[in-house]
Amino acid sequence: MRVVPLSPHSPRAIRAALAARGWQEGEAATIAEGAAPAAFRIEGLSDESLEALVHFSGPLGIDVVSGDGWALLLGSRARLSALARPWTVPEALRDVAEALGLAIPPEAPRAWRTTRGDFPVAAPVIMGILNVTPDSFSDGGARSGVPESVERAASLVRDGAGIIDVGGESTRPGRTETVPVEEELRRTIPVIAALTREFPGVAVSIDTMKAAVAEKALEAGASIVNDVSGLRHGTSMASLVATSGAGVVIMHSRGGPLELASLQHASYGADLMGELLAELGAAIDGATRAGVAPEQIVVDPGFGFAKTADQNMFVADQLSALRSLGRPILVGPSRKRFLGAVTGRSVGERDAATAAACALAWERGARLFRVHDVASTRDALAVANAFGGTTSTS
C-alpha cells in the first residue's frame, strides 16, 4: 500500500490523478475544484441558528469554530456546497444556507464581453499601461505625442500585452485639480484612433471617469472602459456602457476624483474584505440596473486607492474572496506604494515586485493584469500558469 499526499494548494494533482485513470477532463476538473479547501466567516447568527449549524455541519464533514453570534466554517468546497442548499437544511439554517450559496464562488468566467466580441480570460491577460499625461506618478511626460505613444504601444504589444490602456488624467496622490474634458479628449482620442489603426488585433481601453471622454474613445475604436471611480460618479457612464456594449472595469475606490488615491477614506473597521465586497457588489448591482450585462463587467480591488500599505497587502492575500462576485478579476499593483513599502524600492525599481505580485494574484484568481513593464510580468505569469497545469498566455 502507498499513500501519496496531494497538495490542496492547487487542483492540478487531483485533476491529473483522475485523468490518468480514465476520467474525462471536465469531470476531473469538477472533482478537483470541489476538493479544494475553503473557509467562510458568518456573522449575526442567532443562538438557535448557531446551535443548528454546529449540529448539522458535523455529519457533513465541515469544521465549525464558533463564538457569540459568529462562526467560521472550514471544509472542502464540495462539503460546504452540501450545506448551501436551503431546501435540505433545518428551518433555523435556511437563511444561512442561502447566504452561503451566494458566497461560494461560481465557476470562473472564461470570457469578457466587449464591443470587439468576447475576450478570452481563461489564461493570463496583460493590460499594458499607456499614460499620455504630464504628471502620472510613474511615467508622467514620457510620451508627448501620437508617434511616441504608438512606439510605446508597439513595445507593449511585442512584450505580450493583449490590451492597451490609455489614460489622459493622472490619479496620483496629492493632485489638486482635475483635467477638463476638452484636455483629456485632446490627449487621448488621437492616440486611441492611431492604436486601433496600427494594432487591429489588440484591444484598447480608455482609463477615464468621464462619460463624455469614454463616449468619444469608444467612437475612436476603444472597446473597454476602465473607470477607477467604480461608476460612482453619476449614472451616465453606466448608461453609456450599457448602450455601447463595451467591456467595463469596475474598480473599488472611495471619495471624490481628487481623493481616490489618498488615505482620507481608508477606514474599514474590523472587516476590510466584507466592506470591499459589499461596495463592489453594490456597484455591480447599479451597473446591471442601468442595463449593463454581467458579462461586460470585470472587477478590480483598487490597489493603492483608499487603502494603506497593510490594507493593500491584506486585500492582495485575500483576493480570491472577489471570486464570489462572479466576474473576472483585474489587478493593478504596478509600481504602487505598497510594493515600495515592502521592498524599499523607488517607483522605477518596482517592476520585479510587480511581477511577483501578479503571479501571486493569478494564483488567487486574478485573470487580468494592468502593468507598466509587460515583459517581466508576462514571464512571471507564464511560470504561474504553468504551475497550474497549462502554459498558454494571452
Provide the 10 A C-beta neighbour count for residue 251.
26
Stronger pLDDT, 1 or 121, i.e. the higher one: 121
Stronger pLDDT, 38 or 309, i.e. the higher one: 309
Say yes or no to pLDDT of 1 above 50.
no
Q: Answer yes or no: are the C-beta atoms of 112 and 322 closer than 8 Å.
A: no
The H or E element spanning position 139 is: none
List the grid coordinates of 59: 455529519
Say yes or no to pLDDT of 393 above 50.
no
Share of the chain above pLDDT 90, in %: 76
pLDDT in tens, 77-98: 899 999 999 999 999 999 999 9
Which pLDDT band holds residue 182 (cuts at 50, 70, 90)? very high
Average pLDDT over residues 330-359: 96
Q: What is the C-alpha separation between 232 and 388, in angstroms, rounded? A: 36
Say yes or no to pLDDT of 391 above 60.
no
Cα 304 to Cα 106, 255, 312, 368: the distances in Å are 27, 13, 7, 17
Least confident of 95-99, 232-236, 353-357: 232-236
Strand 125-131 versus strand 117-120 pairing type: unpaired
φ and ψ at residue 328, rounded to 5 degrees: -60, 150
Q: Please, what is the average pLDDT of the chain?
A: 91
Say yes or no to pLDDT of 339 above 90.
yes
Say yes or no to pLDDT of 9 above 70.
no
Q: Answer yes or no: are the C-beta atoms of 92 and 105 closer than 8 Å.
A: no
Q: In 3D, which of 187, 198, 249 has the Cα closest to residue 221?
A: 198
pLDDT in tens, 293-337: 999 999 999 999 999 999 999 999 999 999 999 999 999 999 999
Say yes or no to pLDDT of 338 above 90.
yes
Cα 246 to Cα 215, 240, 293, 301, 332: the distances in Å are 10, 8, 10, 20, 20
Task: Find where cell 475606490 sits.
Answer: 253
Say yes or no to pLDDT of 392 above 50.
no
Say yes or no to pLDDT of 6 above 80.
no
pLDDT in tens, 154-168: 999 999 999 999 999
Say yes or no to pLDDT of 372 above 70.
yes
Q: pTM (2 decimals)?
A: 0.91
The one-letter amino acid code at 25 reads: E
List the grid coordinates of 297: 463587467
Q: Answer yes or no: are the C-beta atoms of 327 and 294 closer than 8 Å.
A: yes
The H or E element spanning position 101 is: helix 94-103
Residues 6+ apart with CB under 8 A from 352: 376
Q: What is the C-alpha separation between 122 and 142, in angstroms, rounded? A: 33
Stronger pLDDT, 29 or 311, i.e. the higher one: 311
Burial class from Cβ neighbours inside 10 Å (0-12, 13-18, 19+) for residue 340 reads middle
Average pLDDT over residues 346-367: 96
Say yes or no to pLDDT of 112 above 80.
yes
Average pLDDT over residues 202-209: 97
| Residues known to be catalytic | 336, 370
Q: What is the pLDDT of residue 259?
A: 87
Say yes or no to pLDDT of 121 above 80.
yes
Q: Which CATH architecture has domain 111-387?
A: Alpha-Beta Barrel (3.20)
Q: What is the pLDDT of residue 133?
A: 86
Q: What is the pLDDT of residue 3?
A: 58
- Domains of the chain, by residue range, sit at 1-35, 37-103, 111-387
Q: What is the C-alpha separation between 182 and 154, in angstroms, rounded? A: 27
Partners of 130 in beta bridges:
166
Which pLDDT band holds residue 269 (cuts at 50, 70, 90)? confident
Q: Answer yes or no: are the C-beta atoms of 333 and 305 closer than 8 Å.
A: no
